Amino acid sequence: MDDLRAFFDAYQTTIGFIGINAILALSVWVTLYTGQLTLGNAAFMGIAAYTSALLTLKAQVPFPLALLCGSLLAGAISVPLGATVFRLRGVYLAIATLAFGEVVRVVILATPITGRGQGLVGIPPKTELWHIFASLLVIAYVCARLRISSVGRAWAAIREDEVAAASQGIPVHRYKLAAFVIGALIAGWAGGIAAHFNFAIQPDEYGFARAVQILVFAIVGGVPNVLGPILGAALLTALPAALQPLQEFRDILQGAILVLVIVYLPRGLSTVFDLRRSARLRRVGAQDVA
Amino acid sequence: MDQIYNAIFIGSIYALFALGFTLVFSVLDILNLAHPALFTLGAFTALFAMQQGVPAGLAVLVAFVVCGVAGVILDRVAFAPLRRRNAPPLSAMISSIGVSLILIRLIQLKYGPDLQAYPAGSLPADVFTVAGLQLDTLRTVIIALAVGLMAALTFLVRRTRLGRELRALAENPRAARLLGIDVDRAIAATFFLSAGLGGVAGALYGFATNSPFSQMGLNFELKAFAVMVVGGMGSIPGAVLGAYLLSFGEVASLTFLPSELRDAFAFGLLFVVLVVRPSGILGQRAVDRV
């Protein structure tokens, strides 16, 4: 028992980040499940991280309320953004959301109240591990329920064939926007939690690299189910910590895992016991990812 | 005047970088996110060659060939297996991220993460004056070389047999194969040219700053998105036009914006173009072709 305790204490930060990254992976899962490639979640995370951190730091707002404000602001910004960018598809959509993310980063860099390049330090460390995992549990449950609801079926229909979905009377644009906003709310929640777990935040944490990382978590784990993104985030967060002695070769291994998973397990790690279904899906020509 | 010269210089590098990026996108419809890593590889290949005593001009050629070969290998490892399976473009993006991680780490294993410098005296350092303008030989030669390469690539794609094959492949791979085009060879040529140009761009930019470092490609990646979208995705003249538009816009924006907001210009422009005219200035293809 003591050993377990010691292990827990030593890896507390890693364990916390596994949970946070899993929440982030779920935030991009919602849009991926709808077949839309968006890369704005790092920016939503950043918006909420700064909002909630400024609220607790400068205005002594209670922690839960600050989290909620951050998440809601990210959600509110995602509505007009989504309404604008969802006229685009595929790579164009990804680049547009990426551009939004860079604009957010530059604006944070240029605003005095955010501490610019130095970022914010001394954020009250209000996040406990159980906050992270309780949030993850609730969010994963909501996503899983959404997936099997009529909303989830509409999302899947849009992913498989947008025109066919529209002709079935599914309001495609509205469902895509809903997925985008839900993703932004989740990413915002994770951003607030992460800011109060880490004491300090910097604008560069929410740039292109983070956006890609979140996407990679979800894709490596697999988008067909809710467990995939959680698994992907857990594995890819724990791996660097476990490979501390091999630090120099860590990126090489991580890169190799990405390539191998995409080439040999196109529907993600979580489908490893489901290979026959994957093969069948391929035969009927279904989309690989998601 | 100095600023204009600077804008022409940086625009030429943007253009060389974006040309390779756009070539792969136009022929194969994939975003090769390992392109920045090849850019970095180019700068370091030149560094390695020059440390062995190879003159700068020849080192650029070495960078072209080495990066070109690396590009072909990249295709065999990360893209060819996905192509055989008809995987969606997203998969190719992810596997190229994997290769990029590996490549950057390999460079770091050899040279470390810090700024490097080319051997003293191996690059021309003299300055000359034309009509009252102070120009340095190095950057003038770089601009001339970059413009020459753009012209050569345009000629290759428009006027030669290989160019015709590439354009047929871009139009419809199946039909191209039926017409007797050696598709595998054409794809290998695409990757060789794209990666070679990326490598040359990296070597030239490395020369101009004389401080190559392992992450030097990152900023160019994001700018290249802006260049490609503004000019029209997959259009070669569009990429050149977009590159100079961006570099002049950035320089001009410095006169009325604080310098922290310089990057906001590129991404603001990118966002506006995507929303207003997603096909870009010279793009002809329908937007939802992904």
pLDDT of residue A1: 59
pLDDT of residue B289: 36
Cα–Cα dist B241/B221, whole Å: 17
CB contact under 8 A, B91 and A262: yes
B228 HSE (CA, 13 A, CB side):
27
pLDDT tens figures, B190-214? 999 999 999 999 999 999 989 899 8
Reported as a pLDDT band with limits 50, 70 and 90, residue A101 is very high
A151 touches chain B (CB under 8 A): no
Closest-CA residue of chain B to A116 = B260
Q: What is the mean pLDDT of residues B143-152?
A: 93
The residue ranking higher by pLDDT, B261 or B267, is B267
Residue B66 has pLDDT above 60, yes or no: yes
Find residues 3-62 of chain B whose CB sits inside 8 Å of chain A: 25, 31, 33
CB contact under 8 A, A256 and B102: yes
Cα–Cα dist B150/A105, whole Å: 33
The terminus-to-terminus CA distance of chain A in angstroms comes to 41
CB contact under 8 A, B264 and A107: yes
pLDDT of residue A228: 93
Q: What is the mean pLDDT of residues B108-135?
A: 83
Q: What is the mean pLDDT of residues B76-80?
A: 92
B288 closest CB neighbour out of A89, A220, A252: A89
A274 touches chain B (CB under 8 A): no
Residue B282 has pLDDT above 90, yes or no: no
Find residues 83-102 of chain B whose CB sits inside 8 Å of chain A: 85-91, 94-95, 97-102
Reported as a pLDDT band with limits 50, 70 and 90, residue A22 is very high
pLDDT of residue B135: 82
pLDDT of residue B128: 81
Distant-in-sequence, close-in-space partners of B160: CB < 8 Å, separation ≥ 6: none
Residue B176 has pLDDT above 50, yes or no: yes
pLDDT of residue B284: 60
| Chain A residues whose beta carbon lies within 8 Å of the beta carbon of residue B221 | 208
pLDDT tens figures, A139-173? 999 999 999 999 999 999 999 889 999 999 999 99
Q: What is the mean pLDDT of residues B245-267?
A: 82
Residue B73 to chain A, least CA–CA distance (Å): 14
Residue A68 to chain B, least CA–CA distance (Å): 28
> DSSP readout, chain B?
-HHHHHHHHHHHHHHHHHHHHHHHHHHH----TTHHHHHHHHHHHHHHHHHTT--HHHHHHHHHHHHHHHHHHHIIIIIHHHHHHT--HHHHHHHHHHHHHHHHHHHHHHH-SS---PPTTSS---EEEETTEEEEHHHHHHHHHHHHHHHHHHHHHHHSHHHHHHHHHHH-HHHHHHTT--HHHHHHHHHHHHHHHHHHHHHHHHHHHT---TTTTHHHHHHHHHHHHHH-TT-HHHHHHHHHHHHHHHHHHHHHS-GGGHHHHHHHHHHHHHHH-TTTTT--S-TT--
Give helix A129-148 / helix A12-33 axis angle, nearest 10°. 20
Reported as a pLDDT band with limits 50, 70 and 90, residue A289 is very low
Q: Are A45 and A217 in contact (CB under 8 A)?
A: no
ipTM over 0.90: no
Residue with tokens 């120099």: A248
Q: Residue A140: which of A224, A290, A22, A17 has the closest Cα? A: A22
| Chain B residues whose beta carbon lies within 8 Å of the beta carbon of residue A109 | 260
Q: Which amino acid is it at B6?
A: N
Q: Residue A97: which of A28, A41, A162 has the closest Cα? A: A41
Q: Are B195 and B21 in contact (CB under 8 A)?
A: no
Reported as a pLDDT band with limits 50, 70 and 90, residue B285 is low
pLDDT of residue A285: 61
pLDDT tens figures, B81-112? 998 887 877 888 889 989 998 999 999 999 98
Disruptive mutation site among B94, B108, B215, B246 for chain A (greatest number of A CBs within 10 Å): B94
Q: Residue A225: which of A280, A189, A269 has the closest Cα? A: A269
pLDDT of residue A284: 67
Cα–Cα dist B198/B206, whole Å: 12
Closest-CA residue of chain B to A89 = B288
B272 touches chain A (CB under 8 A): no
Residue with tokens 């300055």: B127
Distant-in-sequence, close-in-space partners of A196: CB < 8 Å, separation ≥ 6: A52, A53, A56, A63, A67, A123, A124, A125, A126, A127
Cα–Cα dist A77/A71, whole Å: 10
pLDDT of residue B70: 97
B290 touches chain A (CB under 8 A): yes
| Chain B residues whose beta carbon lies within 8 Å of the beta carbon of residue A99 | 225-226, 267-268, 270-271, 274
- Mean residue pLDDT of chain B comes to 88
Residue B290 has pLDDT above 70, yes or no: no
Residue with tokens 């990326």: B198
The residue ranking higher by pLDDT, B152 or B91, is B152
Residue B137 has pLDDT above 90, yes or no: no
Reported as a pLDDT band with limits 50, 70 and 90, residue A198 is confident
pLDDT of residue A23: 97
Residue B12 has pLDDT above 80, yes or no: yes
Reported as a pLDDT band with limits 50, 70 and 90, residue A290 is very low
Find residues 250-269 of chain A whose CB sits inside 8 Å of chain B: 250-252, 254-259, 262-263, 266
Q: For chain A, what percent of residues have pLDDT higher than 70?
A: 96
Q: Are A25 and A232 in contact (CB under 8 A)?
A: yes
B102-141 burial, b at 16+ Cβ within 10 Å, e below that, comes to bbbbbbbeebeeeebebeeebbeeeeeeeeeeeebebbbb
pLDDT tens figures, A42-100? 999 999 999 999 999 988 999 999 999 999 999 999 999 999 899 888 888 988 998 89
B82 touches chain A (CB under 8 A): yes
B278 closest CB neighbour out of A88, A98, A263: A88
Residue B193 to chain A, least CA–CA distance (Å): 22
